[in-house]
């Protein structure tokens, strides 16, 4: 499979209130990032690229057994900027899957489905519907129901805040398109950052199209921003494993 994977793991995680880089906080005895890497490697990609920043050397040392391209994002200027750091390592053919180092419970089956969609030449976007979408980028659709763009929470209007379908950040897209769109990203927004989500509007305008895939449950795509969220996902992991064992007759 001509698949490249980029994992974004450069964030500082100040809300964890810890000197430990966020992606190294343990879930089920393993760093958050280890769970994401294991899911990525299950897809047998031709390249695995991990973008690190805060505590970069500590992150790399903790996962020294992983065969990956470790890319340092010196300044955290947004998700688009993070992927730009890995762009020179990505071939111009094939597909790229973009994951996040603090989203540990995404299923391998979901990722395979997302990649299969992107392999058809479109941009595949993983979405989820939330009762409380506060803080998340909203999915904007056109009059025909097609995904037209994503607006970040801080840039959204009052009406857009009512949208419950949100962006998980996880996407897969043709490498040729990624090489074309990433250099065109701008930072004219409330945060002054380069948003990866801006490629959604580029895809819609170019006619490539965006095909959303809805996650099976909220916890599958939940990220960790504080210790409370980490505890919630720890319990979710335990429940998932218990169910797997029960169904296996253990």
d(CA 138, CA 105): 21
Q: Sort 232 into a burial class: Cβ within 10 Å, 0-12 / 13-18 / 19+.
A: middle
Exposed, middle or buried by CB within 10 Å (0-12, 13-18, 19+), for 241? exposed
Task: Establish whether 58 is a catalytic residue.
Answer: no
Question: Active-site residue among 15, 112, 164, 235?
Answer: 15
Residue 188, number of CB atoms within 10 A of its CB: 7
**Half-sphere exposure in the Cβ direction for 113 (13 Å, CA):** 13
Return the SS3 of 139.
strand
Chain-centre distance for alpha carbon 144:
27
Written as six digits, the tokens of 78 are 């947004």
103 in Cβ contact with 218 (< 8 Å)? no
d(C-alpha 236, C-alpha 209), whole Å: 34
- In this structure, the chain runs to a length of 250
Residue 24 in contact with residue 35, Cβ under 8 Å?
no
How far, in Å, CA of 170 to CA of 79, rounded?
Answer: 11
Chain-centroid distance of CA 215 in Å reads 13
Instruction: Supply 99's token pair.
Output: 């994951």
As annotated, the active-site residues are: 15
């Amino acid at each position: 499979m001509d698949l490249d994977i980029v994992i974004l793991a450069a964030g500082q995680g100040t809300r964890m209130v810890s000197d430990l880089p966020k992606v190294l906080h343990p879930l089920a005895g393993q760093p958050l990032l280890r769970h994401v890497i294991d899911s990525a490697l299950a897809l047998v990609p031709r390249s695995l690229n991990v973008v690190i920043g805060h505590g970069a050397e500590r992150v790399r040392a903790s996962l020294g057994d992983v065969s990956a391209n470790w890319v340092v994002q010196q300044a955290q200027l947004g998700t688009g900027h993070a992927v730009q750091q890995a762009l020179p390592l990505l071939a111009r053919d094939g597909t790229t899957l973009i994951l996040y180092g603090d989203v540990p419970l995404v299923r391998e089956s979901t990722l395979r489905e997302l990649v299969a969609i992107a392999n058809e030449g479109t941009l595949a976007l993983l979405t989820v519907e939330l009762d409380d979408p506060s803080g998340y980028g909203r999915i904007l659709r056109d009059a025909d129901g097609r995904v037209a763009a994503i607006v970040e929470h801080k840039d959204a209007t009052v009406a857009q805040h009512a949208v419950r379908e949100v962006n998980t950040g996880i996407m897969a897209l043709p490498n040729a398109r990624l090489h074309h769109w990433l250099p065109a990203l701008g930072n004219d927004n409330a945060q002054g950052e380069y948003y990866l989500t801006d490629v959604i509007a580029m895809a819609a305008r170019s006619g490539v199209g965006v095909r959303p895939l809805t996650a099976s449950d909220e916890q599958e795509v939940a990220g960790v921003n504080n210790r409370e969220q980490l505890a919630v996902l720890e319990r979710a992991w335990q429940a998932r494993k218990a169910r797997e064992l029960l169904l296996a007759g253990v």
